Structures are given as structure tokens and as C-alpha cells.
Amino acid sequence: MIKRNNVYNKYKEIDVYGDIQKIPQGWQVIPNIAIFDERTSKDNLNEELISVTIGKGIIKQSELQNKKDISNEDKSNYKLVKQGDIAYNKMRMWQGAVGFSKYRGIVSPAYVVLKPKVKINPEYYHYLFRTNYYSNYAKRFSYGLCDDQLNLRYSDFKRMYSIMPPLETQDIIVRYLNKKSNQVNLFIEKQLSIIDILKEQKKGIVSRVITRGINENCNMKDSNIKWFGNIPEHWELRKLKFCVSLISEQTNKKEPDDIFISLERIESWTGLYNLKIGEDDFESSVKKFKPNDVLFGRLRPYLAKAVSPTEKGVCVGELLVLRPNKSILSNYLKYVLLSEQIITIIDSSTFGAKMPRASWDFIGQIEIPVPTLKEQEDIISYIEDRSEKTNYAINKIEKEIKLIKDCLESIVFNAVTGQIKVE
């Protein structure tokens, strides 16, 4: 808990640690070289591979989800990390890629491994080094032409300063912050699970209404397609290639009023895109599209990336450009392509193990439900209305998560710098 008086009895002024002007009496600010040596031991090939992450600090490589192992087969230059060591990514320390290790293992040569020279609680420095304050401090000692090339070598790290409370105080701070962090992480985990449920509900709504419509009282018929089951009896089933034209017009330049859409700019399952993600540069030719064309990602189709831009522009070759004919509305087609039924069908057809792709020859043969244009408009409105409500709920939860993260960051900073007293 934070003591009622909230502060230590006595403080002393300091002038070597940036904006922090005082620390409790009995605490020190000393050069990192007095606290840490660099561990450079190599040739530990039988040790487990571990990683330094921005989000969680040091974890086992095996705990990283959906991340490809990009480590070298030759690990003779990988550095040994012992329990209680601290490691940081030389090019990402200023972003918070640092932490103490609960494990013995090895890390890439891109990391610096720190071993304590004096008796400390390494978890205290885990918290200190991961504050936004210390990240910005580390950035001032990192060198490179741009942010992506900034490098914090040990020779520069050792010139930096760190706060050193008495060991007993370090232990108290660590116990307190561990408890607070666990409480916050549990709250965030629960909130994220709610977000996952809401997102699944959104997907379920799309998948339901593009096969059954929104009129629960209409007569149904067997579609004779196991993916769809029953559909309204007055709906048609048409092959996709008869509903659209496949556009393959290419160019090697982007006009001033063109937007540029790449796969990374498209959100999975939402039909939304973000032009602020990534760069507009491209090395090869791209495809042209017009307003209200539908773009569908054929690379890794299980990611469910489909959009219908209202502007003209260019897109990467891995996006199919589909121009709907008069029988189908572009936003309706977008939602059809985002339904779980269609994504499952397309994903089952992919070829290539590392970079699975679907071909237009297969996709064009898929039969899709085609209601009347009026019903398509109603379906679009129904989906977007419910999506708006769900997005509002998700945004509210995300704001709560950010608020509690900011609160924890403030508590950590004030605790590790002695601005508040905890026990």
C-alpha cells in the first residue's frame, strides 16, 4: 500500500538525473558502470533461446505467439543470460525493450546483457529501466542517423546514471509493484477477453445476415451448399465471377490524388483500413482501383482483409480488385467476402506453405447469396448499425485499458524514483 503521508521523511536535492530534482535521504544516484558489468559469454549452444520484448520484458522464445523464429541456425555468437541478469535490445532500449531475466538462456548478439556488480534487486531496475522517463533518458545516449538505427552500446549505457535505493527499500518497492502489476494485468486480461467476445459477435452477425437476411419470418430454401445451409427462398446464388469484373490495370506510379492500400493497412475482419500505417513507397508495379471497387487479400486469406474504398487509388498486387456489376452493391460484397463461410472456403483452397495464396480461378467459382438490391441496402445498414454499437463498446474498453496502464506507469515512476513511499 501507499503510506498515508505518501512521502519519505527526508529528501536531498540532486542535479545529475534530468527532471528528477530530489530523492529520499539515503538513496544514491550513481553511474551504471558502478552497478553493472557487461556479460559477454558465448558458445552456450545448449541453452534455451529467450527474447527481450517491449510489452513483457524477458520471456522464453517458445512463449511468443504467432511469431516466426528468425534466429540464426549458428548460435555460437549468442550471449549467455543468467537468472537475475538484465538484458536490453541495443536498438530498442529507448522503446522499453529491456527487462530482468527469470531464466537462464541465450539471446541474440543484438542484445546487451548486464550482470550486477553489487548486491541489488534486479527487479527494481527492471521497473526503473522500463519507465517512459528512463526510455527517453536512454534515447539521449543512443546513436544513429534516425530512430530506427539508434543504438545504445554498453560503452554508452555505463556512462548513464541510475537511482540506487537501499537494498531493503528495493525489495519493498518490488513487492508493491509486483502486486500492483498483477492486479492491472488481471484487469486488462479480463477486458481483452470481453473485446474478443465483442469482435466474435460482430463476425457472427455478418456471417448470419449474409446467408439468412434480416427478415426472420421469410420462407427459406436449401441452398444445396453445406457452407450456407438454408437461405431465403427468393434469393439467388451466383458465381462470384458473374457478379464482378476482375480488374488488373497496373501502373508504376501513384497520382497525387491517389490513395495507396497495402495489406498491412487493412484491418482483419472489419472492412476498415488505415492510411497512416506504413509507407507509400513501392518498388514494383501496383494495381489501379476506382471508388467503390472491392479489394480482397488473396495472400493468407484467413486474415480476412477486404475493403471498399470511396476514393480512387492504387494497391499492392496481392489484393484482388473486384468491380461489382449492377446486381450487387460494393459494401454488400465486402461483407460477403468477410463472412466466416466465404473465408473458410477460400482459405481451404490456398497453395504455398510459407505464403499461402488463393487463386482467382477458385475464388471466382464460389457461389454467393445475392438478395435484391433493397435487401442488400438493408443488410449493409443492419451490419453497420450493430458494428457502430460494438465499436463504441470496444473503444470504451480500450480507453479504460489505456487509463489504467497510464496510472500504473505513474505509480511505477513515482515509486522507483522515491517520489512516493510504498510498503
> 317 and 363 in contact (C-beta within 8 Å)?
no
Give residue 299's identity as a one-letter amino acid code.
L
At residue 358, the pLDDT reads 96
The length of the chain, given as a count of residues: 423
At residue 291, the pLDDT reads 96
> 85 and 115 in contact (C-beta within 8 Å)?
yes
CA angle 395, 400, 403 (to 5 degrees): 125
> 191 and 400 in contact (C-beta within 8 Å)?
yes
d(CA 178, CA 20): 23
Of the candidates 213, 223, 258, 222, the residue with the CA atom closest to the CA atom of residue 374: 213
> 50 and 89 in contact (C-beta within 8 Å)?
no
At residue 151, the pLDDT reads 92
Residue 180 corresponds to which cell in the numbers above? 500492483
Of the candidates 134, 52, 144, the residue with the CA atom closest to the CA atom of residue 97: 52
pTM: 0.81
What backbone torsions phi and psi does residue 254 show, to the nearest 5 degrees?
Answer: -115, 120
- Residue 308, sorted as left (phi over 0), alpha (psi -120 to 50) or beta, turns out to be beta
At residue 5, the pLDDT reads 57
At residue 216, the pLDDT reads 86
At residue 147, the pLDDT reads 74
At residue 402, the pLDDT reads 96
Of the candidates 60, 137, 52, 45, the residue with the CA atom closest to the CA atom of residue 100: 52
At residue 74, the pLDDT reads 66
Q: Which residues of 212-236 are buried (b: 16+ CB within 10 A; e: fewer)?
A: bbeeeeeeeeebebeebeebbeebe
Strands (E), 206-362: 220-222, 230-232, 236-239, 244-247, 250-251, 259-261, 286-289, 294-297, 306-307, 313-315, 319-324
Residue 284 corresponds to which cell in the numbers above? 514494383
The two beta strands, 111-116 and 161-164, are: unpaired
Q: Which residues of the chain have pLDDT under 50?
A: 4, 68-70
Helices (H) and strands (E) in the chain, counts: 8, 24
